[in-house]
């Protein structure tokens, strides 16, 4: 082979390899996905604990594979499911409390999230849900021990340190705690929540977690139930949105600080607030026609047991930003997962 031809082949291989095969199909960026948080990322842990805050009945899951109401609080998959698939980890992130978890499920990660929970141990949309502190201190710890018995010490450490750890929580602390009582000052409560978040990140770090993807709060004042409880007009509550926005500013500062102080960590903030605000401002860009109420029932109040087999639903879920009175539709999660994917791809240590 002439040296020109050889050069051509090497050049060709490098280009093709970099753009396709070697990048996408060989080694996934993460070993596993570990998920902590609330209903935005709970694949059905609440099915296995005594609480009424569940969604394992129709019409939940009507657009899920085989139309299974798995306990996810939406019509289809969650953002973490879609994100895990985009990274080539797996198609669905299972609930840790599911007694039928396989060793393979453990190897590629699970979700400890519990719908209705918060960073504050006192936050609960309904009794019995699992606060984020218990998710990290009890369940994640137990998971790590179980993983060690399956794959051994060294491999368990490799899996956990190579995992993407997603923490999605905080909305319930405002909606089902702070705004119910308003017994403290919002800025102090935000600081308290962020201290709790920092402690949870420390729990995860101590057990080997290194790479964190953390979405900020969405525009909480645009959640249909929040609008319903606070006033009659179907418009976003700007004061509530300002609280969420300030929380996000403080959250980003905290993540910068943690990355600088915890050796080996990468923290990626995902701007959910910007995305959902844009969806509300420019719904047609995303195929939405309704953004101020959910698809289930009247869309103003229905959630959990109030959105059930007897509740009528909208004809096209893809046109609704919200599936029920609190939770985004799968259509939102698809776009959010793509945003998270792109943001994480560009993350730098
Ligand atoms: C449902 O809505 C989406 C988004 O607006 C649209 O692309 C799709 O064609 C609709 N499907 C039906 C069956 O009308």
Q: Are 313 and 294 in contact (CB under 8 A)?
A: no
Say whether pLDDT at 347 is over 90: no
The torsion angles phi and psi of 56, rounded to 5 degrees, stand at -95, 50
pLDDT digits (tens, 9 = 90+) for 275-286: 999 999 999 999
Mean local confidence (pLDDT), 114-143: 97
pLDDT digits (tens, 9 = 90+) for 252-307: 999 999 999 999 999 999 999 999 999 999 999 999 999 999 999 999 999 999 99
Q: Among residues of the chain, what percentage have pLDDT more than 70?
A: 92
* Paired strand residues for 37: 168
Residue numbers annotated as active site: 39, 324, 327
3-state secondary structure of 310: coil
CATH 3.40.50.1110, domain 30-220+238-274+330-345, yes or no: yes
Does residue 287 line the site of ligand 1, with CB under 6 A? yes
The torsion angles phi and psi of 59, rounded to 5 degrees, stand at -85, 5
Q: Whose alpha carbon is nearest atom 12 of ligand 1? A: 316
Residue 146's pLDDT band (cuts 50, 70, 90): very high
Closest-CA residue to 113 (of 68, 155, 81, 159): 81
Does residue 316 line the site of ligand 1, with CB under 6 A? yes
- pLDDT at res. 1: 46
Say whether pLDDT at 25 is over 90: no
Residue 68's pLDDT band (cuts 50, 70, 90): very high
Q: Whose alpha carbon is nearest atom 7 of ligand 1? A: 287
Mutate to test the pocket of ligand 1, among 63, 287, 321 (most ligand atoms within 8 A of CB): 287
Half-sphere exposure of 27 (CA within 13 A, CB side): 5
Does residue 319 line the site of ligand 1, with CB under 6 A? yes
- pLDDT at res. 231: 78
Domain ranges within the chain, ordered by starting residue: 30-220+238-274+330-345
- pLDDT at res. 325: 98
Q: Write down the mean pLDDT value for the chain.
A: 93
- pLDDT at res. 183: 80
- pLDDT at res. 34: 98
Among all chains, which residue has been given the structure tokens 């101020």?
292
Q: Is 264 left (phi over 0), alpha (psi -120 to 50) or beta?
A: left
- pLDDT at res. 5: 52
Q: Whose alpha carbon is nearest atom 13 of ligand 1? A: 316
- pLDDT at res. 249: 98
Does residue 285 line the site of ligand 1, with CB under 6 A? no
Q: Are 307 and 324 in contact (CB under 8 A)?
A: yes
């Amino acid at each position: 082979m002439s040296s020109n031809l050889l050069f051509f082949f090497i050049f060709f291989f490098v280009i093709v390899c970099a753009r396709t095969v070697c990048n996408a199909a060989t080694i996934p960026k993460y070993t596993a996905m570990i998920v902590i948080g609330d209903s935005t990322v709970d694949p059905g842990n609440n099915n296995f604990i005594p609480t009424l805050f569940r969604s394992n009945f129709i019409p939940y899951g009507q657009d899920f594979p085989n139309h299974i109401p798995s306990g996810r609080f939406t019509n289809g998959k969650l953002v973490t499911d879609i994100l895990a698939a985009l990274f080539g980890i797996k198609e669905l992130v299972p609930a840790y409390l599911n007694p039928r978890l396989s060793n393979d499920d453990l190897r590629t990660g699970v979700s400890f999230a519990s719908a209705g929970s918060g960073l504050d141990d006192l936050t609960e949309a309904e009794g019995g849900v699992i606060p984020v502190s218990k998710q990290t201190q009890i369940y994640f710890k137990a998971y790590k021990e179980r993983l060690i018995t399956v794959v051994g010490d060294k491999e368990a450490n490799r899996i956990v340190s190579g995992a993407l750890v997603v923490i999605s929580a905080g909305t319930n602390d405002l909606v089902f705690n702070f705004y119910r009582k308003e017994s403290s000052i919002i800025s102090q409560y935000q600081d308290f929540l962020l201290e709790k978040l920092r402690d949870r990140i420390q729990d995860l770090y101590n057990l080997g977690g290194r790479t964190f993807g953390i979405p900020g709060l969405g525009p909480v004042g645009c959640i249909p139930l929040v609008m319903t409880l606070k006033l009659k007009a179907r418009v976003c509550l700007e004061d509530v949105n300002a609280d969420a926005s300030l929380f996000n500013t403080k959250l980003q500062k905290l993540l910068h600080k943690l990355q600088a102080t915890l050796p080996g960590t990468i923290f990626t903030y995902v701007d959910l607030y910007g995305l959902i605000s844009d969806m509300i401002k420019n719904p047609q860009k995303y195929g939405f026609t309704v953004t101020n109420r959910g698809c289930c029932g009247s869309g103003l109040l229905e959630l959990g047991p109030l959105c059930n087999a007897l509740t009528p639903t909208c004809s096209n879920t893809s046109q609704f930003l919200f599936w029920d009175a609190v939770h985004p539709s799968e259509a939102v999660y698809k776009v959010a997962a793509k945003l998270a994917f792109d943001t994480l791809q560009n993350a730098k240590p």
